Amino acid sequence: MKIGFIGLGIMGAPMAGHLGKAGHELFVHTIGDVPAFLNEYSITACASGKEVAQKADVIFTMVPDTPDVEKVLFSENGVAAGLSAGKIVVDMSSIAPIETKEFAKKVNALGCEYLDAPVSGGEVGAKAATLSIMVGGSEDTFDKVLPLFQLMGKNITRVGGNGDGQTAKVANQMIVALTIEAVGEALLFASRAGADPAKVRQALLGGFASSKILEVHGERMYKRTFDPGFRISLHQKDLNLALSSAQKMGVALPATALAQQLFNTCVANGGASWDHSALVRALEKMSNFEIPAQQ
């Protein structure tokens, strides 16, 4: 297939690579240079989203935030300007559900289909093609794109109509933030009490407290490896979506608000670009104790 991919960052580049490795022809547009490893595939760098849409049948976008998606799709030389009837736009960014529904309506009005398909799994999942993909859109369109999703992820679920994929991703990010906070508290407590946090983590992995976050981010906390990964600034964006939507709906999210404040503490101390597992640093600052680094 002729596939467009816009946004070749930490996540987008390996995702596009899996599509190229499968033999699909890629038409790409990104800020900066195209990552060198993609050049081993059939790839054409395009000057704009419009050019990508003109040349590709399915166009993927993977950019940071709602305004970025809007710009990529609807600016003067954006994707919409290059679409023709029958093409499919798939936004894999994590953005606002309400705006997603409006974007879908605009693309549908051009005779094209739209899927919102945010992902979970981070850089590790993107490289390993094990992402969880939460999809909103029509069942027919989902079925058409599913073979491409299967090249990038393992747990692929059509949640419902347009916007529902983004709603699922916001819920995912709430759970991830709160679990990071819980793991951080537990390992900080254990370390301050004199126990080896690595051994405590190992013990907990065999019980009901086990989780992927305890496995991956728990290790980051005692090894002090806070290079992203997934930046705190991006997780803050996702929690802002949760909190602003909750305010509109009259839903109480007290623990989500607490996690956001802890992320704010990290940012105030220069941590906007830290991996989100570094939320533990906010807890450490409040406790005047840091988990000792170990290999």
Active-site residues, by number, are 169
DSSP 275: B
Which residues are within 8 A (CB) of 75 and not within 5 positions of it... i.e. 6 or more apart? 49
Q: Which of 50, 57, 71, 69 is nearest to 26 (CA)?
A: 57
How far apart, in whole angstroms, are the C-alpha atoms of residue 101 and residue 234? 21
Half-sphere exposure for 93 (CA within 13 Å, toward CB): 30
Buried b (16+ CB within 10 A) or exposed e, 123-151: bebbbebebbbbbbbbeebbeebeebbee
Q: What stretch of H or E contains 166?
A: helix 164-192
What Å distances lie between residue 200 and 189, 192, 214, 222, 280, CA to CA?
10, 12, 10, 11, 16
Query: In 10 A of CB 109, how many CB atoms?
Result: 9
Amino acid sitting at position 106: K
